[in-house]
Structure 1
């Protein structure tokens, strides 16, 4: 199976916008109610057996099962009788809201994310139709269950060979959008190592430095826009809370944030295509992006968007048949790419790599990119050797078919 995601801007009528807004509110209530059930169950099991809190304690019968996606979905029918407004929303949309909560708890357990939070009014901004019937898209229109035909701006054609499986409706500052997940019953072969290779080192002084000597200065999308953003936020603070003028000022701030994000994504996309020109293999560092975002330079790391750039570069490599792989990022700035000697830790002010063992000198970031290239070629050589011996080599996680 191969999936692609197509994004289009919707052109709903006022009545349809009212339905979208009502559905988002109903999904928010279901999400918060289900989260409250889970939170109360967890708190009722957190007290000691032989003692209770002096203030208060959650008491739930011992035989009450733990709330999960399955038993909460089964109770949706009973809840609809108590709250008739939930019947106006498609049942599958509410089920996907509960599945969204389940994914949040799985991310908390497995990925060490924080405990899921309740969503305030207006914070629920998307809902999903997991299944669409055949011929649901005709002449720049999409047919949504219980809503009907909704027009959208079709900026590119959807191949007839694919089947539209899901529709994800998203509310943004610039309008309503739909993400269509198209499925093909084919297996797309992964690119194999071939052609010229390039190693890439990312940083804050130079956004990227390649092993062939290319360095690009990091554009400061958010930092350069802070002065205007400060002015817009100051206008919001001067408005009366809840007034129409306050909502208009908040919308301007949201649109400006979206503009900054689009500028960053566009630059990353263009840079990824430039890197893929005339190369057959691309190697990057496997960085701890969460740790970088929580450091003293976290604001600038988030502004650079290293994670988004790696994702876009991986997708571009897949589309253009370029081999992509992440390598170990430890001590890339301390190893000499010429002789492999550990030159020791460098201060941030040292911008030149000088090896006392072999006399090799180069720009610090370029030398780190060359170390990435050496490690990547070593990994590729091991993979090619195993293929030649007839051994099975699994596709790394970094080469799974992404949704783009």
Structure 2
């Protein structure tokens, strides 16, 4: 059984500065690895072989997604052989090559040596996961900025004792132990994330002795209820019960508060410290709305599963399709009204 526990960290000032520096360096490393893959794709399928004038390096598209003249080294892995003397896996993936190049990165850029090695490896695997999602039909990986790259992940070396957690190369750190981890679970991964009001840690724990779910044997006439999601009411249950929708982000008070705080941001000078402070207040308000929404969803889920029923049926909604923009109406070069202005409020409620 796998589950997650989230706690708020209580780092000292030195640890805060170090984690902030880690995030900045990891973001730069992520963007470099992404640019290396994009460049090699252009070389291999668009430009072909050529010699880089600036570095005088030969570009060979016969190896992998990553160029031979980059900091990725030899793409052929021949250090492991089978009994017949043949290489087991002579061709490596782009992630394997970029992970193998991490020691060279630490030599060329010594400040990367202060980051834990598993954190750097997980940073490359994070990009590999983005590419995997792209090949499955999602969007192409994009370059990260300070607003959408705020976390890093450990996979080993994390120790937990009481209200203190030990993170490699960061040392012991206090945290708010709001809920204790059950006995028998082991830490599989640990993600440190920066939010508007501080640093948080997400522990992924596993207990192999606990099954993922226990199948329930249904009788001849099981009791079934269906749940229909809505906007005016959050959930309509087939037995006639309805659950209210508090609309944390779209009620009158929240919309006015958000409007005032966003107006204060726009009135500050761009690049000033006061503008950054005002933007942090906006971010904290959004975080507060998210916390309320998440807590209410757990309460609603508890109400539904606590009802005396055997089966709960939910509708499979295509949320991204519901929020997609309306099709453009064109009449001989003139754009007609297509209802997108009215749909804007509906998307916000969804």
TM above 0.5, yes or no, is yes
* CA deviation after TM superposition for structure 1 residue 208, in Å: 1.7
Secondary structure at the counterpart of residue 178 of structure 2:
coil
| 1:108 pairs with 2:108 | no
Q: Distance in 2 between matches of 1:45 and 1:179?
A: 40
SS of the equivalent of 1:223 reads: coil
Task: Note the 1:1-400 alignment, pairs <5 A.
Answer: 2-47=1-46, 60-67=59-66, 68-110=94-136, 112-121=137-146, 123-132=148-157, 136-186=159-209, 187-192=211-216, 194=218, 196-224=223-251, 225-277=254-306, 278-295=308-325, 297=343, 300-301=346-347, 303-304=349-350
Q: Deviations over 1:70-116 (max 9, x none)?
A: 11111111111110011010011011111111111111110x22211
Displacement of 1:44: 2.5
Report if aligned partners of 1:132, 1:167 keep a CA contact under 8 Å in 2. no
Note closer, same or farther for the CA distance 1:293–1:132 as it changes in structure 2 (3 Å cut): farther
1:108–1:115 Cα contact (<8 Å) kept: yes
Aligned to 1:311: none
- How many residue pairs get matched? 292
Instruction: Classify the secondary structure of the residue corresponding to 2:249.
Output: helix
List per-residue Cα deviations over 1:296-321 (Å, max 9, x = no partner). 547645644xxxxxxxxxxxxxxxxx
**Alignment RMSD (CA, Å):** 2.1
CA contact (8 A) 1:167 1:180 kept: yes
Give the conservation status (yes or no) of the 8 Å contact 2:165–2:173. Answer: yes
Q: If the length of structure 2 is used for normalisation, what is the TM-score?
A: 0.78
Cα distance in 2, alignment partners of residues 91 and 299 from structure 1 = 46
TM-score by structure 1 length? 0.68
